[in-house]
Amino acid sequence: AEISAQERALDELSQLTRSKRKAEEALASFDAEEASLREQLRAHDLCDAQDARRAAAEARQAWQSTESKAEHLRRALIEQNVPARDALEQGRARLNALSSLKAADAQKRCDDAEAALSDFDAKPVERPRSLLPYIIVSAVLLLLFIFVSALPSPVALAGCIVSGAALAALLVLNWNNARKVRAAHEEKRGVLEQALRDARSDAAAQQKLYDAAARELLVLIPAGDISRVGAYLDAALQKYAELDALTREARDLSLRCELLSARAPKGDVPDEPVVRPARSRAELQTALDALARCRREAQSTFDYTSGRCRAIGDAAELEAALTQKRDELAQKQAEYDAIALAMESLQ
């Protein structure tokens, strides 16, 4: 029974030894695989660090470039003596007000007055109502009454008086009509001339105001000529708009540069580009977790087999003890056989 127990112990010890050896080999392979996985994760870390530093450097370069452009534009505005933004806005308001002083309405009134006077002069002068037929008739009657001797003297005298009075009245009335027509014509023409003079005076006053305002505007906005003030204002305000855009962009890039610099790793990062592994970080971490589970299982197997092997004992000692037991069993068996043979011979 002891020999059987020891043989079973030796068989179990042999199986445990094989299981322990496999567990050791698995643990060794797990160490190499874990080192490889962690090396790949380290490569990901280095690539991320290099990307972060590269992004920070690019952001700093972009910020410096934008800041340089903004500073260059500021110096250009100062060197070109471009007025301040408030002065430009004031100049824009004055230019808009100046357009209302262009004397366009006054000039139109002046042109209309000249046209009305020209049209009036081009028309024929209105003629008075002619009394010439009546004057001719009265003159003929007067001559008849004077030179026809066949008429009685009283009749001829009365006819001369009546026809002469009629002729005189007609002449006076005809002259008075002509005078009234001429006076009305002169009055109408005088009204048109006065309107023309007033329009010219208004246009001159408006032009004087326009010139004075234009000179003040050119003092404020050094465009050289009033016709170039609008384009000068547009160009100057466009430059200020570009400066504002560059300033905002530089501020945003500065904040981005500070943020990326704060996120950039502080440790040593190699300058040489690191090749990013083909497997993603998540895949590597999943493989590392699975490897950890396998390691725990292999370690549990190793610990169990090691404990059982220590509990069973050393294989050589067990072999020696088993050999001794077998020798003792063989010796006792020989003794038993000798006794049994002696008993048979006695019988």
* Model pLDDT for residues 286-336, shown as the tens digit of each residue: 888 888 888 888 888 878 877 776 666 665 665 666 566 666 666 777 777
* Predicted confidence (pLDDT) per residue in 248-270, tens digit: 999 999 998 888 877 766 667 66
**pLDDT above 90: residue 65:** yes
199 CB burial (10 A radius; 0-12, 13-18, 19+): buried
Can you tell me the distance from the alpha carbon of 120 to that of 36, in angstroms, rounded to the nearest whole number? Answer: 110
Q: Give SS3 for 49.
A: helix
Please tell me the predicted confidence (pLDDT) of residue 252: 92
Please tell me the predicted confidence (pLDDT) of residue 71: 93
**pLDDT above 90: residue 189:** no
Can you tell me the distance from the alpha carbon of 267 to that of 68, in angstroms, rounded to the nearest whole number? Answer: 31
Residue 19 has φ and ψ, to the nearest 5°, of -65, -40
Mean pLDDT of 223-239: 88
Confidence tier at 5 by pLDDT (50, 70, 90) = low
**pLDDT above 60: residue 103:** no
Please tell me the predicted confidence (pLDDT) of residue 323: 66
pTM listed for this prediction: 0.49
Distances (CA, A) of 326 to 1, 168, 319: 11, 194, 10
Please tell me the predicted confidence (pLDDT) of residue 57: 86
Mean pLDDT of 279-287: 87
Mean pLDDT of 273-285: 84
Please tell me the predicted confidence (pLDDT) of residue 28: 80
Residue with tokens 């001369």: 160
* Predicted confidence (pLDDT) per residue in 175-184, tens digit: 777 778 777 7
Confidence tier at 9 by pLDDT (50, 70, 90) = low
Mean pLDDT of 214-227: 85
Please tell me the predicted confidence (pLDDT) of residue 295: 81
Please tell me the predicted confidence (pLDDT) of residue 251: 92
Extract the tokens encoding 35: 């080192």
**pLDDT above 80: residue 240:** yes
Please tell me the predicted confidence (pLDDT) of residue 241: 93
**pLDDT above 60: residue 134:** yes
* Rounded percentage of the chain residues whose pLDDT exceeds 70: 78
Q: Which of 93-107, 225-239, 256-270, 318-332 has the lowest mean pLDDT?
A: 318-332
Q: Give SS3 for 80.
A: coil
**pLDDT above 80: residue 14:** no
Please tell me the predicted confidence (pLDDT) of residue 75: 93
Extract the tokens encoding 38: 């962690």
